[in-house]
Chain A
Amino acid sequence: MKNRAALIFGYNDYALEIAKNVTYEYENVYLYSLNSEQDILRNRSCFEVKSFDLSDKWDDLNENIDIENSIAFCVLEDSAENIFLTISLRSSFVNLNIIALSNNKQTANKLQMAGANKVIPLVQTTAEMISEMLQKPIVKDVFHKILFESGALKIAQVKVNESNCYIGNSVSDIDWSKRYGIVVLAIVNEDMSSEFIYSSKVKHHIVSKDDMYIVVGYETDIKEFEKMTGSTCD
């Protein structure tokens, strides 16, 4: 039977941090190393370290991993090797969700061209956080808590199903925050194009089936809202 797994390519601090953070979602977390013999010996984490090389045909993955429901993280320290790995995985697995780490903008573009679904631009992200700390410390604090910490305030993706009583109503006519105690940040249409709630486009948007609402609120309020809309993605 094929496993649903998080495949992390590269054995380094980034890989270990990712592994720690994805275990709640993926039962199987595998770390793949280019220097497996050395890394297996020094591995003190609870994650299994496997070997791979860049010329791999990925037969092992094909046989044992449920590729469509798995996720791959490419975090090799050498940018060229990371790009090569991404392109190699994409060429073998069209449906694999690949997240890659880049150190600069140039590499980020190349990783995207190589087929990564999402690129984490490490330096830019760190710089963004620092500049936010300096310019908008409260925004940084609030969003950091909402996104990364297990506080009372949550963010959720809520999908509208066919039984929703607001279907057919104009978004601007409904005061979500008063009724449900939540703040709707954005609406994602069926075609996955997201629009912020304050955009003029959304003002005329009619609530329809399969709309996805990105909402912020307290856990109980979000649950109430989910009950009303019918389902949740989170």
Chain B
Amino acid sequence: MNFFTRWVVDFAYFLNTSEAYQHKKRFVYDILENDKYQYKRYFDIFMITLIFLSVAILIAEVKSEMNIYLKILNVYIISFIFFIEYLLRFWISSSVSEIIINKSEHATALGREFYLYRALINAMKTKLIFVFSFKAIIDLLAILPFFHELRLLRLFVLFRVFKLFRYTKSFQTFTSVLSTKKFEFFILLMFSSIVIFVSSVLIYVMEAHNPKSPINTLFDAVYWSVVTIATVGYGDIVPVTMEGRTVAIFVIIAGVSLLAFTTSIVVSAFTEKLDEIREIKTIDNIRKLKHFYLICGYQNVAQEVVKKLKDSKISIIVLDEDIHRIENAKKDGLIAVNYDPGDIESYKKLGIDINVQVKSILCLRESDIENVYTTLTVRSISKDVNIISLLMDDANRNKLKFAGANEILYPKGIVGMISKELIGRPVAFEVIHALRNDYYGVDVEEILVDDRMSQNILYVSELNNSKFRVILLGIYKKDTKRFFFNPLESTLLESGDYLLAIGNSAFMREFEKHLHKKIRK
């Protein structure tokens, strides 16, 4: 290996291991290509705005003299931004350093000599694949208006509109759906080309010699054929001879059937892909959510939980591998995805950040095996997310705990405990039950003592809860995780504490407002 080759390989290693370089490249990739990256949306919106601005300036320029600044913006600044974007896309399209390293390591492993030029040719090939890709060509054409002196090139501004394909997902979906019917469209294209060719030649032969006929050239004939086959029929060119009109009848019939064929292909493409499109849209919506509860398994308990949580500001997402249960969830107005909650791939496909987006995961299948499996899967992805699971058989409690469930609900045990209360303190039980379920308009609330509140209300005696006919059941101290029942008036309120208050819902709201508004004099 000569000095230059060694230097290039060393430099490739340097780039590949440089955290700063890789971080920057990753950032550029995220902003340009990664749909999951939260700031990509803003970049896309910025580029779309530039595109529309550019086209608007072009239109305005047609009939009036354009302001010099707008001209500079359109011709130089926007073009320059697109040029930079093109270069960045070229940069991230492949990694030259990685190709060099791979080739070098491959040669070393096989004991062969490493030829730098071969690695560079390989790298060039991958770059050329990018350069000749449809989207990259559009990008390049969109930069051409930079050469403003060539007036014709100004029309290349319109290529900027095609750049919208990059930034709007619906366009991409549309093209991806249509691309599934490539073969049918090819057949259609061949058929229409043959019809246009044959009818153009025929109409030219039949009409061109007639001085009354408007068809004088082959171009007139092709134009007439295309207009007729497309069922547009402007009427500016019409056949005048009997033979020409006979050709027209066949072209019209062919045109109608062609149109029907095209429509059916497009419709069938969308029908076949509809579920997939909906799923993509659903997943996209899920990714945008800041917080949500993830319900794994939509059976009886899950359905009731959803009813209870319907007034909550936090969204609910349902995952279930059973399509019927997913349909039920959708009927209940929920965002539901037909993925197996026990499969790690499901979460990868969803592309969500469990630690940040998911408030709690509820394993509500009526099968301990499924719940243990789901709990284990989720726990393997996130150590911190709160998992609540249903337990059907008490013998499996340890398994669920071991799998990592934070809270376990055993309905049979609940029945036993309720029975005990119902025979011991039935009235007290009913009262608590009514309180917890907001019957009679009476509410139990957890009121968070925030920084501002703790600065303005120092002691329990300053709460003034009795004025609002609200009872302070106690204070939950977050730092010690202890509940202080019926606290003394001298108890200090600290930020992060929770007040457990009971009272009429309307009074409770007033009380909360009072707590937030109160200012210490």
Residue of A nearest to B466 (CB): A175
Q: Are B417 and A197 in contact (CB under 8 A)?
A: no
Report the separation of the CA atoms of residues A28 and B273 in the bound assembly, to the nearest whole angstrom. 65
* Minimal beta-carbon separation of B4 from chain A (angstroms): 65
Asked whether A183 and B312 contact (CB < 8 A) given A125-B414, A214-B427, A217-B486, the answer is no
Q: Are B301 and A127 in contact (CB under 8 A)?
A: yes
Residues in A whose Cβ lies below 8 Å from that of B424:
25, 234
Q: Are A148 and B471 in contact (CB under 8 A)?
A: no
Report the separation of the CA atoms of residues A128 and B300 in the bound assembly, to the nearest whole angstrom. 13
Asked whether A128 and B436 contact (CB < 8 A) given A17-B415, A142-B473, A216-B473, the answer is yes
Residue of B nearest to A153 (CB): B485
Residue of B nearest to A148 (CB): B417
Report the separation of the CA atoms of residues A85 and B398 in the bound assembly, to the nearest whole angstrom. 36
Interface band, chain A: 35 or more
Q: Is A122 engaged at the interface, CB distance under 8 Å to the other chain?
A: yes
Give a binary string over A142-172; 1 marks a CB under 8 Å from any B CB, 0 the rest: 1100111000010111000000000000000
Among listed A36-44, A56-64, A132-140, interface-contacting one: A132-140
Q: Is A76 engaged at the interface, CB distance under 8 Å to the other chain?
A: no
Candidates A73, A157, A177, A233; contact of B419 at CB < 8 Å = A73
Q: Are A194 and B427 in contact (CB under 8 A)?
A: yes
Report the separation of the CA atoms of residues A223 and B305 in the bound assembly, to the nearest whole angstrom. 39
Q: Are B483 and A142 in contact (CB under 8 A)?
A: yes
Q: Are B420 and A22 in contact (CB under 8 A)?
A: yes
Among listed B116-124, B172-180, B199-207, B496-504, interface-contacting one: B496-504
Interface band, chain B: 35 or more
Q: Are A124 and B309 in contact (CB under 8 A)?
A: no
Residues in A whose Cβ lies below 8 Å from that of B40:
none
* Minimal beta-carbon separation of A78 from chain B (angstroms): 16
* Minimal beta-carbon separation of B359 from chain A (angstroms): 7
Q: Are A134 and B359 in contact (CB under 8 A)?
A: yes
Q: Is B185 engaged at the interface, CB distance under 8 Å to the other chain?
A: no
Residue of A nearest to B499 (CB): A138
Report the separation of the CA atoms of residues A98 and B359 in the bound assembly, to the nearest whole angstrom. 40
* Minimal beta-carbon separation of B53 from chain A (angstroms): 47
Report the separation of the CA atoms of residues A57 and B503 in the bound assembly, to the nearest whole angstrom. 49
Residues in B whose Cβ lies below 8 Å from that of A13:
393-394, 412
* Minimal beta-carbon separation of A203 from chain B (angstroms): 7
Residue of B nearest to A12 (CB): B412
Q: Is A204 engaged at the interface, CB distance under 8 Å to the other chain?
A: no
Q: Are A129 and B414 in contact (CB under 8 A)?
A: yes
A-B contact pairs, 6 of them (CB 8 A): A26-B423, A120-B418, A122-B415, A138-B500, A142-B483, A188-B427
Q: Which residues from chain A sit less than 8 Å from chain B, CB to CB?
A: 6, 13-14, 17-18, 20-22, 24-26, 71, 73, 75, 99, 101, 103-104, 118, 120, 122-139, 141-143, 146-148, 153, 155-157, 177, 181-183, 185-186, 188, 194, 196-199, 203, 212, 214, 216-218, 233-234
